[in-house]
Amino acid sequence: MITSEEKKETDEWKSCCLSVDKNALKYFIQVGILGALIVFSATMLVVDERCEYQRNYSSLLMFCIGAFLPSPKLN
C-alpha cells in the first residue's frame, strides 16, 4: 500500500536546488508551447501574404485553439 508521503515523493522532481511538482511543470510547458504556436501562427497569417502558406498557419492556429477548448457536453 502506498502512503501519502510516498505518493508525494513520486509526484515531485527534485534537483540540487529546487523541488517541482511534476504535473504542474508539464502543464506550464504545454501552455507555453501552445501559446507560442498561437502567437506565431497568428503573426504569420498577418505578415505572410502568400495564400498557400496561410492555409498551413490557419490549420496550425485552429489545432492549437482546439487543444485549449474543452469538448462540448450535454447535461
Predicted confidence at residue 74, as pLDDT, reads 73
Query: What residue spans define the domains of the chain?
Result: 23-66
Predicted confidence at residue 39, as pLDDT, reads 92
Rounded to two decimals, the pTM is 0.69
- 64 or 74, which is more confident: 64
Query: Coil, helix or strand for 49?
Result: coil
Q: Which burial class, exposed, middle or buried, applies to 40 when counting CB atoms under 10 A from its CB (0-12, 13-18, 19+)? A: middle
**Per-residue pLDDT tens over the stretch 5-57:** 666 667 888 888 888 898 888 888 988 998 899 999 989 889 988 888 888 88
At 7, list the grid cell: 505518493
